[in-house]
Amino acid sequence: MRISVIGCGYLGAVHAASMAELGHDVVGIDVDERKISSLSAGVAPFFEPGLPEILSTASASGRLTFTTDMSAAAIADVHFIAVGTPQKAGSYSADMTYVDAALDSLLPFLKAGDLVVGKSTVPVGTAARLAERVHEAAPGAELAWNPEFLREGFAVKDTISPDRLVYGVSDDAESGARSKALLDEVYAKAIGEGTPLVVTDYATAELVKVSANAFLATKISFINAIAEIAEVTGANVTELADAIGFDTRIGRRFLNAGIGFGGGCLPKDIRAFGARAEELGRGESLSFLKEVDAINLRRRQRVVDLVVELLGGQAFEKRVAVLGLAFKPDSDDIRDSPALDIAVQLNGLGADVLATDPEAIANAHAKHPQLVFVESLEDAVRDAEVVLLLTEWADYRRLVPDDIESLVAGKRIIDGRNVLDSQQWRSAGWDYRAMGRP
Ligand code: UDX
């Protein structure tokens, strides 16, 4: 297939490289020259395991090119829209500027028979609106909605071997069948391997995506709400999650209590979903998502309060080590990162914060230059009164008291992700605190 991918961020760059890896001819298009020159040189502009490898094989094969020139889309038959839909400034709704601008600039290059495929997470109703614009500008061209479920850190695997495919296609039987046939060709490998496929209408496809994210966010906030109860009763939320997780109706995954969810998707998607429900006159249906959001944000405050408590009621001028800035391990993404938020809040209280992360320092520094960043864990913990483990990178999960004992000023640690062995730290004389665990 000849494919264009418009938007080369965390989603689009991986999608473009993965499509080339599958044997398609792909052009990735983005307005950001810095991103395009990096991708053109075969260098991933962000950290994503597996991406550098497929970028270099695809670039060497000649099947993958990148450009800022939208006219390059003219040679493609299938056009993926993979631009961001961030939270709009001053509101909970999704900012649709980038999706609309991407389509606007693509329309002049569409021809009959082309398929525009939306991958971005959008408010329900968007696909129907964009389909009309495609039909007007390019009679004979079609639009489908094919939501993306990739997880950062596993993005390449999730794109090449997704756990399901969803196609939202036109109600018109003939157009719908043609869109499905083209997408089947794009995803021939996954389909051949028996990947479950749901072919549905536009609204359902759009809602599948936001519902999945709302469910995951709810699951995390559920266990974090139980962690709050555990904290006042002396119960252990990790053992509780193990026990309820054995019930296959519940399942253990996404039941890790900690400092909560962040990232470019879950937080803004639940807000945009709630805002869309209100526009549709069904605000009450999703009002629980406000509670999900509130529980999530309370976990960050809990860590800040614990730090102040451990420091005897005052964080001012106290040295605090922050291990982890990315919103989760194996990513350099700091969008709505709970770890970074906690570092910023402590800095605001006058604490002397030294923060580190294996991959996210550059992004964190660009957004919060007021923080002090150090490259190594050792430099971060040196003379610290309290150590915070906030993103569970493999190196931090392996941490044992011996590694840092001789460096710190006070043997106090907060395990924001419940990944350390509490017994080990306590028997080494540390004041060890976790989230929802005694
Ligand atoms: C998410 C969805 O998983 C993905 O399907 C969708 O396409 C985009 O949004 P991602 O943002 O990459 O993917 O992160 P995810 O792995 O879902 O984690 C989200 C946040 O939840 C992270 O901050 C993570 O630390 C947190 N989390 C996850 C928990 O706090 N506890 C858990 O048990 C699981």
**Tens of pLDDT, residues 356-379:** 999 999 999 999 999 999 999 999
What distance in Å separates the CA atoms of residue 33 and residue 379, rounded to the nearest whole number?
Answer: 35
Task: Specify the ligand 1 atom closest to the Cα of 269.
Answer: 9
Q: Supply the mean pLDDT for the chain.
A: 97
Residues 313, 184 within the same domain: no
List of long-range contacts for 137-141, beta carbons under 8 Å, 24+ apart: 137/107, 137/108, 137/110, 138/107, 138/110, 138/111, 138/112, 138/114, 139/112, 140/111, 140/112, 140/113, 141/110, 141/111, 141/112, 141/113, 141/114, 141/115, 141/116
Q: Of 137, 165, 200, which residue is a domain's last?
A: 200
Q: Which protein residue's CA is at the shortest distance from atom 33 of ligand 1? A: 254
pLDDT at position 12, please? 97
Judgement on whether residues 293 and 428 belong to the same structural domain of the protein: yes
- Shared domain for 139 and 61, answered yes or no, is yes
Q: Is residue 252 part of a domain?
A: yes
pLDDT at 59 over 90: no
Distance CA 82, CA 100 (A): 12
Mean pLDDT of 322-333: 98
Are 179 and 325 in a shared domain?
Answer: no
Has residue 206 been placed in a domain? no
Host domain of residue 49: 2-200
One domain, residues 41 and 79 = yes
Mutate to test the pocket of ligand 1, among 46, 119, 154, 216 (most ligand atoms within 8 A of CB): 216
**Is the same domain home to 225 and 177?**
no
The two most distant CA atoms of the chain are separated, in Å, by 73
Q: Is 137 exposed, middle or buried (0-12, 13-18, 19+ CB in 10 A)?
A: middle
Residue 236 predicted with pLDDT over 90: yes
Is residue 210 a part of any domain in this protein? no
Give nearest CA residue, ligand 1 atom 32: 254
pLDDT digits (tens, 9 = 90+) for 328-359: 999 999 999 999 999 999 999 999 999 999 99
Dist CA 80 CA 116 (whole Å)? 6
Q: For 69-107, how does the pLDDT look when each residue is reduced to its tens digit (9 = 90+)?
A: 999 999 999 999 999 999 999 999 999 999 999 999 999
292: pLDDT strictly greater than 90: yes
Asked if 225 and 314 sit in the same domain, the reply is yes
DSSP 107: G
- Residues 225 and 191 grouped into a single domain: no
Same domain, 364 and 287: yes
Q: Is the pLDDT of residue 383 over 90?
A: yes
**Is pTM, for the whole model, over 0.75?**
yes
Active site residue 8: no
* Domain termination site, one of 149, 174, 200: 200
- Pair 275, 409 in one domain: yes
Q: At 64, which CATH number? A: 3.40.50.720
Assigned domain for 293 exists? yes
pLDDT of residue 319: 98
Q: 139's torsion region: left (phi>0), alpha (psi -120 to 50) or beta?
A: beta
Atom of ligand 1 nearest to the CA of 338: 23
Q: If we measure between CA atoms, which residue out of 33, 24, 25, 31 comes closest to residue 7?
A: 31
Q: What is the predicted pLDDT for the residue at 264?
A: 95
Is 211 inside any structural domain?
no
Domain end (from 170, 200, 230): 200
393 within ligand 1 shell (Cβ under 6 A) = no
209 inside domain: no
**Ligand 1: does its nearest atom lie under 6 Å from the Cβ of 16?**
no
**Matching residue, tokens 């039941």:** 255
Question: Which amino acid residue places its CA nearest to atom 13 of ligand 1?
Answer: 151
Catalytic residue among 124, 127, 265, 266: 265
Of 120, 149, 151, the residue with max ligand 1 atoms within 8 A of its CB, to mutate for a pocket test, comes to 151
**Residues 97, 142 share a domain:** yes
**For residue 208, is it within any domain?**
no
Co-location of 187 and 272 in the same domain: no
Number of domains forming the structure of the chain: 2
Cβ neighbours, 10 Å, residue 378? 13
Looking at the domain assignment, is residue 10 inside a domain? yes
